[in-house]
Amino acid sequence: METQNKIQLENIAETDFEIFALLKQRYSPRVFKSEEIKGRHLKQLFEAARWSASSNNYQPWRFIYAEKGTEAFQKIFNCLSDFNKSWADNAPLLMLAAYKENTSDGKENFHALHDLGLCLGAMTVQAQYVGIGMHHMAGVNWKKAHEDFKVPKGYHVSTAIALGYYGGDLDDLPNDLKKQETGKRERKPQEDFAFKGDWLH
């Protein structure tokens, strides 16, 4: 158990250039401690989101969250893809992330999804600071989420997130996911996405 935890807690990226330590340490775990997330830590996560940048300060993000063992947790879990269901019940907390599609005067907020991403980035760094891992999931049935949670028209559920403290037992995962959890972390080189002066193919 200690060896497994050590692997998970020290899954640090081998970066080409030195970056902020919390960014190097951050990754998306699929196992978590069974410990409930402390109330003050949860408030800190939402405070980090609250103070993130947004176009015209519209702050279009919205969240629904629920603790394991509650009916709402099960409702979020039921909206996940089958693959995510294979591990997400390890999390002590599940969350749906949504954004408001239009501005207050009814115009499309083209940047709302971008702003949701910015706020989740801020939340993720804050989570890392207090030892919480966040696994962002694209595999969510947003239409079911809208129906089950009676999401008002004009809002769109974009992703689901599993949250919990680092240090879960890797034996709680299927063997194929164990390998992913402990495998070497890789990223595209900067040259593939950062172009100076012109678009390079």
Any domain includes 180: no
Q: Give the integer Cα–Cα distance in Å for 55 and 78.
A: 33
Q: What is the CATH number of the domain that holds 71?
A: 3.40.109.10
Any domain includes 10: no
pLDDT of residue 4: 43
Confidence band of 30 (pLDDT split at 50, 70, 90): very high
Count how many domains the chain has: 1
Would you mind telling me the total number of residues written for the chain in this entry?
201
pTM flag (> 0.85): yes
Any domain includes 40: yes
Any domain includes 101: yes
Any domain includes 23: no
pLDDT above 50: residue 5? no
For residue range 36-94, list pLDDT tens digits in order. 999 999 999 999 999 999 999 999 999 999 999 999 999 999 999 999 999 999 999 99
Any domain includes 174: no
pLDDT of residue 3: 41
Residues 23-30, mean pLDDT to the nearest whole number: 91
Q: Give the integer Cα–Cα distance in Å for 43 and 180.
A: 31
For residue range 104-127, list pLDDT tens digits in order. 999 999 999 999 999 999 999 999
pLDDT above 80: residue 2? no
pLDDT of residue 178: 84
For residue range 139-159, list pLDDT tens digits in order. 999 999 999 999 999 999 999
Any domain includes 119: yes
Structural domain that includes position 143: 28-169
